[in-house]
Copies of this chain bind each other. A is one copy, B any other.
């Protein structure tokens, strides 16, 4: 990075340029083996327990959207990062940055949503902070959550643990959250047909990890979408990935809107879906376990891990072709979460 460069929207996309910023700036400044693993959260040894610790800031615009608001999104986001570490989420912090003049009634609605989302996920919010900045110094409201959860002794998963032969599952339709936000922002009139999938995945992950010790890796495809998450797993695990395009569940209004706008649903953010990497002999059990949960009713096996084209993801198209599926490059939509 040259010294006269400036931060671009793309640096926060969650895609390729975000990863470069982390690799070139953050890792050297804080160099330590826990951070260097770059999982969805950090894994810590505290006494005789293994704990996961994660944080996310939420800057979504608009604050209210079909399927949720910034408050439940902020709770579910950190809950899901902990769940992807295999942890049972337990404790959350909340830090608000509020623009002067913001409606107290709206804030109350958002805070109450956070309270309900925490209860649904089984976490308790134990500490917080509130900052108010003058009008114009922030756009309405930003929320940070950090969370702590315990990783059960029998769980040993990680984004470097995918192995050739593993089946790859997705827990439901993709792109719902991102296209919902986009439809709201662009006022495209599609809003009635789609809603955010914002939801806590922790109960489903716990059932899955209990039923299937053969699960090797979990990932929630938020910013950057399924394509970016798959590329990260391929690179960290040193494996190749093949995805069957025809097997990836996409709701018709989402695929219609993506077609219209020239977007690939595989690059669109999700807030209540996960990818599962599981040994092939347990793939059917994993699929049944996901489908037994309402949040996983549309789960599908979408591909497999191979020992070819290491670090890269290929997509088999319905007409028999195969193309490289890269991480998100260029930001489709700022402030999606």
Contacts and interface: CB of A to CB of B under 8 A. Distances in A.
A275 B111 CA distance: 32
Contact of A335 (B18, B102, B137): B137
Interface string A50-82: 010111111101000000000000000000000
Given A1-B104, A124-B30, A126-B53, A7 B132 contact: yes
Contacts of A150: 46
A250 interface: no
B6 A102 contact: yes
A211 interface: no
Is chain A's binding surface mostly helix, strand, loop or mixed? Answer: mixed
Interface in A6-50: 6-13, 18, 21-22, 25-26, 29-30, 32, 34-35, 41-42, 44, 46-49
Given A104-B6, A126-B35, A144 B44 contact: no
Contact of A127 (B35, B96, B115): B35
A59 B334 contact: no
Interface residues of A, number: 84
Nearest to A103: B6
A244 interface: no
Interface of A: 1-13, 18, 21-22, 25-26, 29-30, 32, 34-35, 41-42, 44, 46-49, 51, 53-59, 61, 90-91, 93-105, 107-108, 111-112, 114-115, 118, 124-134, 136-139, 142, 144, 146, 148, 150, 331, 334-335
